[in-house]
Amino acid sequence: MSSPLEPSGPPPTRPEPRRESTDTTRQPPEQDPLRRSRTSGVWVAVIGLGLLLVLLVVFIAQNTQSVEVSFLGWNGRAPLAVTLLIAAAAGLLLATAAGSLRIWQLRRRVKRGSTH
């Protein structure tokens, strides 16, 4: 019989550290047939745009009521969805213009800095 102060069973062991796999059958990334490619990126983009289009159709279908629109002296009535989409497109165009101008400015600055 063992005493209560003596441990029973084998001594505890430490887990071994993880080692890198030495599997030599893996192909280099350039030859891996499942690597990401431009085509797979386009496919993901097509799926994302398809989902966005479905959401857009739902948005338009739920916002068909006509609203009064006034802008710079122009007055008229238009469906709410169309009005909101035009406003969003205008905001996107303004953001694109501002971003493009900033990129152009930075490229000019880099080009000037590399010639001096």
pLDDT digits 0-9 by tens, 12-29: 676 666 666 555 566 565
Whether residue 68 is predicted with pLDDT greater than 70 in this model: the reply is yes
For helices 38-62 and 80-115, give the axis angle rounded to 10 degrees: 150
Burial pattern 80-92, b for ≥16 Cβ within 10 A else e, equals: bbebeeeeeeeee
Whether residue 33 is predicted with pLDDT greater than 70 in this model: the reply is no
pLDDT digits 0-9 by tens, 34-52: 677 777 778 888 899 899 8
Confidence of residue 103 (pLDDT cuts 50, 70, 90): very high
Is 9 a member of any domain?
A: no
Is 27 a member of any domain?
A: no
Is 11 a member of any domain?
A: no
Is 83 a member of any domain?
A: yes
pTM above 0.95, yes or no: no
Report the domain count for the chain: 1
Is 12 a member of any domain?
A: no
C-alpha to C-alpha distance for 81 and 55, rounded to whole angstroms: 12
Q: In terms of residue numbers, what domain contains 62?
A: 38-115
